[in-house]
Amino acid sequence: MTEPVAYVNGQWGPLAQARVPVLDRGFLLADGVYEVIPAYAGRMLRADEHLARLERSLAEVRMGNPHTRAQWLDLLGRLIRENGGGDKMVYLQVTRGAAAGRGHPFPENLPPTVVAFCQPLPLPSAEMREDGVGVIAVPDIRWSRCDIKAIALLPNLLATQAAKEQGCNEALLVRDDRVTEGASSNVFAVLDGTVATPPKNNEILPGVTRDLLLELLRGAGVPVQERPLGLAELRRADEVWITSSTREVLAVARVDGQPVGAGRPGPLHARAWALFQDYKRRVLI
């Protein structure tokens, strides 16, 4: 294994030695946004959609985009090459930069901090894919701008850790008896042959994998609905899935220890998974 290479503000070097100043507002105040883009055999999937979401996140927190779309694609392409290609989770983060001291107001004319690195893509194991995973339901204690991919992730981390401690793969977040999304994924339920997922609004991150899957399901003639999902509804669904850039589309076998449907990945999950794999083959090869 060659040493992972990172990008920090125009400089390339070993990830383990990559540094930003203590005064960086990302470190002090979580004043920044990020993206996670999957790459297969060295090529990014839906890079334009991820970069469009980055632009939107930056605009919503009133930060400029330090790079054009073409510059981002060059930078991330080089990052993947420098790291030997293959299946990668590409991570990028932009913060409001490092000022002369700590303060809440936005400093003027501060250059942003741009960091990018990658790791092996942590796709679900064959066992998780074949058997499905367990999830827990926990209260959604996040702010009301979950549509922004902000680096401030404490509520998500607490939920993820609670899931892990209960031997589960993900925590589903519940607001007013509705399941909004997972701590790091979007959620789908199959009820009476229809696939339902919560609508895109301020309560969820507009997942790139979510949108892609909806597009593929619609294209295949599978009935889909974007609508609020009650927790009670989810508990009696025939199938539940979660989607993300690192999980693709993963079946949920248990919610709070209770089986979902037959307690195994269902037939529509198999269809969705096959559509996703087929799409990857079509666009990446």
As measured in angstroms, the least distance from the Cβ of 217 to ligand PDD is: 15
What are the residues binding ligand PDD (CB under 6 A)? Answer: 36, 156, 181, 184-186, 205, 207-210, 243-246
- Residues in a beta bridge with 43: 40
Strands (DSSP E) contained in the chain are 5-8, 11-14, 32-40, 43-44, 88-95, 113-120, 133-139, 170-175, 178-182, 186-191, 194-197, 224-226, 229-230, 239-244, 248-255, 258-259
> Which residue, 52 or 231, is less far from ligand PDD as judged by CB?
52
> Which residue, 83 or 184, is less far from ligand PDD as judged by CB?
184
As measured in angstroms, the least distance from the Cβ of 2 to ligand PDD is: 24
As measured in angstroms, the least distance from the Cβ of 262 to ligand PDD is: 26
As measured in angstroms, the least distance from the Cβ of 221 to ligand PDD is: 23
Could you tell me the two tokens for 105? 């107001």
- Residues in a beta bridge with 139: 174
> Which residue, 113 or 245, is less far from ligand PDD as judged by CB?
245
**Residue 3 DSSP one-character state:** P
CA-based angle 285:242:273, to the nearest 5?
Answer: 35
> Which residue, 98 or 195, is less far from ligand PDD as judged by CB?
195
Write down the catalytic residue from 149, 164, 200, 280.
Answer: 149
Active site residue 88: no
Contact 90, 118 (CB under 8 A): yes
Q: What are phi and psi of 70, to 5 degrees?
A: -65, -40
> Which residue, 75 or 148, is less far from ligand PDD as judged by CB?
148
R_g (Cα) of the chain, nearest Å: 19
Question: Which string of DSSP letters, residue by residue, matches 103-140?
Answer: -SSPPTTPPPEEEEEEEE--PPPHHHHHH-EEEEEEE-
As measured in angstroms, the least distance from the Cβ of 136 to ligand PDD is: 15
Q: Which residues are tagged catalytic?
A: 149
